[in-house]
Amino acid sequence: MVDFGPLLILLVIAIGVVVISTRLRFPYTAALLLLGISIGFVGQRVSLLGIVRQGGFLFSPEMFFYILLPPIIFDMGLHINFHDLRRRAPFVLFLVFVGVLFTTVFTGLAVAWLVGLPILVALLLAAIVSPTDPIAVVDLLRRHRIPSELSAIVEGESLLNDAVGVVTFVVILGIITSGTWDPLGSVAAFSWQVVGGIGVGLLVAGGVYVLHRRLNDPAVETAVTIVAAYGSYLLASDLGASGIIATAIAGIAVGTWVAPRAISPEVRASLNTFWKVVVYVDNSIIFLAMGILVAPSDIVSHLGLVLLVVAILYAGRAAFVYMHRPLSSVTSRPSAQLPTSWYNVLVLSGIRGAIPVVLALSLLRSTTPLTTEVVSTIVGVVIGVAAISVVAGNLLASAYITRRFPVQYGPVETPTAFVPELEGSAK
């Protein structure tokens, strides 16, 4: 039986972290991670630490993907500016599909060549660290007033590339486990993940619309959105499609089309507050647990490889992000091209966080030909990369964005169909 007392204590501490990090203008997710590392380092014996370190309750793949992640993805979809996302859709899709696959291949080949790891092991490591983290990215964006189109690009990429990264990880792990690769089967499975996820998300959003048209009770309507967030994820997963894509599409559809037509402004305000609280609690649990999981000795023992992978990740991200500029000058209208500062933000916002750590931890419970030493190395390197990215990467991105765009700690909301009362409040 799980003792939730330590969890409650850490959530109370997390409230203090918000106050202090706001005053110090320090990234909230990085502060939570450092707090978690400190708690783990001093060795306080509370049951939460044992749960996390054993890869059990809080940071198990089941707990993370099925309980903690869906509300965060759904909330991002609710608040994303769909008009800006649609306008920059070609670039977002380029970042999501080309970006993840390019990062995986580039990082895997570089690590295999420089370190001497077997190519499939290097590609598996690369696939794990290839997706950016939506949780850390949202925290970064909501602390700054950046252009709404740039915000939509960054959020859209982080919202969808996790699904591509997870599928890539599953495919490579399957090749390692079975020793064979079926290219057509992989393409078919990947296509179903995307198409099936989109279909489930739209289906759930349609159901939400029908229900909200017949309701005018904030409590019941809030419950409907909770069912939508978790229901879309679970239904898609049961059908073999991407739960992340399904929940993201459901959130976007509800925020963009359902809310203006079927949800009153008063209920929308209530929902906005509710989902802020849920996301805050989820973020606190995730980054505190992730920090507690980090053993500084493990990072030190793999420090050389950790720093190498971080450097390769940034080099690879810079390569494919800046690659878009000459391509867009040939294939797009001049109005579709982006300012240099936007490309710089996109490179720096490639923060890795909880999702790579959970994928790495899942190897501890998987039956594969990989040796214990190899799995231990992958887990140690991924945790180190995530820790450095959340702290140093967050600070670096925040420093650049602060110089380029006005900063407001607090957080900042961008105008969307879901929060029309903010229309025109941020540009």
Question: Mean pLDDT in runs of 10 for the chain (427 residues)?
Answer: 62 79 80 82 54 53 87 92 89 90 95 93 94 76 78 88 89 89 87 94 96 88 95 95 94 93 89 90 83 77 92 94 80 71 91 89 85 90 92 88 67 56 39
Encode 14-47: b = buried (16+ Cβ within 10 Å), e = exposed: beebeeebeeeebbbbbbbbbbbbebbeeeeeee
List CB contacts of 298: < 8 A, sequence separation 6 or more: 380, 383, 384
The SS3 of residue 179 is coil
Contact yes or no for 344/397 (Cβ under 8 A): no
The backbone torsions φ and ψ at residue 327, rounded to the nearest 5 degrees and listed phi first, read -65, -40
In whole angstroms, give the CA distance from residue 259 to residue 243.
22
Residue 361's pLDDT is 86
In whole angstroms, give the CA distance from residue 64 to residue 282.
10
Max Cα–Cα distance, the chain, nearest Å: 62
List CB contacts of 31: < 8 A, sequence separation 6 or more: 17, 20, 21
Note if the bond before 71 is cis, omega within 30 degrees. no
Contact yes or no for 345/400 (Cβ under 8 A): yes
In whole angstroms, give the CA distance from residue 35 to residue 178.
41
In whole angstroms, give the CA distance from residue 349 to residue 371.
34
Please state whether the predicted TM-score (pTM) of the whole model is above 0.95.
no
The backbone torsions φ and ψ at residue 10, rounded to the nearest 5 degrees and listed phi first, read -70, -30
Residue 106's pLDDT is 96
Q: Left, alpha or beta for 43 (phi > 0: left; psi -120 to 50: alpha)?
A: left
The SS3 of residue 57 is coil
Element at 25 (helix H, strand E): none
Contact yes or no for 51/228 (Cβ under 8 A): no
Please tell me what DSSP assigns to residue 144. B
What token pair was written down for 263? 């949800």
Neighbours of 194 (CB within 10 A): 18
What token pair was written down for 83? 């008009």
Residue 343's pLDDT is 92
Residue position matching structure tokens 């030190």: 300
Encode 405-425: b = buried (16+ Cβ within 10 Å), e = exposed: eebeeeebbbbbbbbeeeeee
CATH no. of 5-422: 1.20.1530.20
Contact yes or no for 165/130 (Cβ under 8 A): yes
Question: What residue spans of 294-348 are helical by DSSP H?
Answer: 296-301, 303-331, 340-348
Neighbours of 306 (CB within 10 A): 22
Q: Count Cα atoms within 13 angstroms, Cβ side, for 362.
A: 18
Find the length of the chain: 427
Give residue limits of the domains in the chain: 5-422
| Closest to 215 in 3D by CA, of 262, 273, 151 | 262
Return the amino acid letter for 155: E
Sign for the CA dihedral angle at 42, 44, 49, 53 comes to: positive
Neighbours of 157 (CB within 10 A): 26
List CB contacts of 70: < 8 A, sequence separation 6 or more: 229, 230, 232, 233, 243, 247
Residue 56's pLDDT is 46
Residue 338's pLDDT is 85
The backbone torsions φ and ψ at residue 26, rounded to the nearest 5 degrees and listed phi first, read -115, 135
What token pair was written down for 396? 């670096």
